[in-house]
Structure 1
Amino acid sequence: MYPYYYGFDPTMILLIPAMLLAVYAQTKVKTTFNKYLRVYSQKGYTGAQVARYILDKNGLRNVDIELTGGRLSDHYDPRSKVLRLSNDVYHGTSIASVSVAAHEVGHAIQHGEEYFPLTFRNNLVPIVNISSSMSWIFIMLGFLVTPPLLKIGILLFSGAVLFQVVTLPVEFNASSRAIDQLVTNSLITTEERKYSKKVLDAAALTYVAAAASAIMQLIRLVILSNSRDD
């Protein structure tokens, strides 16, 4: 049985680095976005204009662009083929605005090209939606009732971990496509490229933190499961 000290679970220590990384990532993306939201692009295009231009250049005229609420809520919806941009990005002419818009267009281009990691991730969504919600029920029952249920919970949780890991190449690739499209189509200057990259690298860090947290949680659960078998 895994040792506990005065009710403290020592495996929780495994989560501390991932938690610190998550806090750092959230702070980094907010500060970087806010910083470059005040740095206006020399070309003067809005995020919506940049998105429309890149979509059309890549033969994606069937993808619509909509204004959505919230902040940093920008996303591409592959089911309805709609690019949804927040107010700061849709109307903004800053480096942050055009960079985020181009990144989301990167996902639309991936979808149009049937980029395998994106297709694989999209196919995981319905499975993960069920497994992630059910996993902790089985995990709790495994601790309280019978160990075999814990193993089922871990297996279900593994699906959520896989989703987070697969998300990494999808996001990195979308950012790479965004930079290429912005520079190739002269939507930003060569000098602005490094600023755009800073915005997208900060955003990517949040996905790295999410994957790290999920992996460390899975390792922790496996350790706890094995300790109950001893």
Structure 2
Amino acid sequence: MHLFLYGYFTPYFFYDRYYIIYVLPALILALIAQFNVTSTFSRYSRIPNSRRMSGAEAARRILDQNGLYNVRVERISGNLSDHYDPKDQVVRLSEGVYDGYSIAALGVAAHETGHAIQHSTNYSPLVIRNAIIPITQFGSSTSIWLLIIGFIFNWRPLVMAGIILFSLAVVFQLITLPVEFNASSRALKILGDTGMLYGQELAGARRVLTAAALTYVAATVVAFAQLLRLLAIFGNTRDD
């Protein structure tokens, strides 16, 4: 589960009043969301599930129940570094989730298998997101240089090109939201239907996944705030 915020904290190469107006509040929201997911995960990672099932076992069982025998489950280092790799068809779980027997471990493991199920069923938002990844990566890496050069030399067409490329990152974030929310919804349904978690355990997993989803919402807000800032600077230079 990628919980980092995709580098959208970068205010580019200068600060201005628009940064304070648009971006700073969004950054505060993002920090709150990050703190919330860390504390929520930490809380429920200390509560074992009644089935004494590890995250790896839960992931393997869910995948097999959905006929995804070819999807591997692997352990990776890091904290909250869990993710599904559609290219290699691997669910990668951090050590605390892979070996963990907690409510949080099962919630996160089920969430990542939710992405694998999305992939196998050609879930439309996921297909679109995967298709535009190369474009958004190009846009993110190129936009900053176009903006810097454009603002330095006051070349408005270059600035606008940079803004358009940066807007692709905002689109990517928007498409990511339904992908993540749907994966969590699938995870909670599977955990409840199969009896892996029930009652307060399921409620705890829901809190963990909700907190994680809010980091993606915060990332989208930060990206959109940066876009508004750039548009405001662009409009101000036009007025000047």
Common topology (TM > 0.5): yes
Aligned residues: 224
Q: Which one of 65, 73, 76 corresponds to residue 65 of structure 1?
A: 73
How does 1:1-230 map onto structure 2 within 5 Å?
A: 9-12=16-19, 13-145=21-153, 146-230=155-239
RMSD, matched Cα: 1.1
1:80-129 Cα offsets, whole Å, 9 max, x none, are 10000011000100001000000000000000010000000001111111
Q: 1:131 deviation in Å?
A: 0.8
The TM-score normalised by the length of structure 2 is 0.91
Q: Which amino acid aligns with 1:195?
A: G
Q: Which amino acid aligns with 1:215?
A: F
**Contact 1:138/1:149 (8 A) holds in 2:** yes
- Quick one: distance in 1 between partners of 2:79 and 2:15? 38
Aligned residue for 1:29, secondary structure, equals helix
Q: Which amino acid aligns with 1:110?
A: Q
Q: Structure 1 runs of 4+ off > 3 angstroms?
A: none
- 1:4 alignment partner in structure 2: none
Q: Which runs of 5+ in 1 are unaligned?
A: 1-6
Identity rate, percent: 49
Aligned residue for 1:62, secondary structure, equals coil
- Quick one: distance in 2 between partners of 1:87 and 1:8? 39
- Quick one: distance in 2 between partners of 1:100 and 1:74? 8
- Quick one: distance in 1 between partners of 2:113 and 2:15? 47
Q: Which amino acid aligns with 1:228?
A: T
Q: Which amino acid aligns with 1:200?
A: L
1:40-66 Cα offsets, whole Å, 9 max, x none, are 101110000000011011111110011
Q: 1:191 deviation in Å?
A: 2.5
Aligned residue for 2:100, secondary structure, equals coil
Q: Which amino acid aligns with 2:63?
A: L
Aligned residue for 1:61, secondary structure, equals coil
- Quick one: distance in 1 between partners of 2:236 and 2:24? 21
Aligned residue for 1:19, secondary structure, equals helix
Q: 1:8 deviation in Å?
A: 6.6
Q: Which amino acid aligns with 2:170?
A: V
**Contact 1:46/1:93 (8 A) holds in 2:** yes
- Quick one: distance in 2 between partners of 1:150 and 1:184? 52
Q: Which amino acid aligns with 1:202?
A: A
**Contact 1:42/1:189 (8 A) holds in 2:** no
Aligned residue for 1:45, secondary structure, equals coil
Q: 1:226 deviation in Å?
A: 1.5
Residue 100 and residue 8 in structure 1: after superposition, are their counterparts in 2 closer, same or farther (change >3 A)?
closer
Q: 1:142 deviation in Å?
A: 1.2
Q: 1:193 deviation in Å?
A: 1.2
- Quick one: distance in 1 between partners of 2:25 and 2:17? 14
Aligned residue for 1:151, secondary structure, equals helix
- Quick one: distance in 2 between partners of 1:97 and 1:90? 7
Aligned residue for 2:75, secondary structure, equals strand
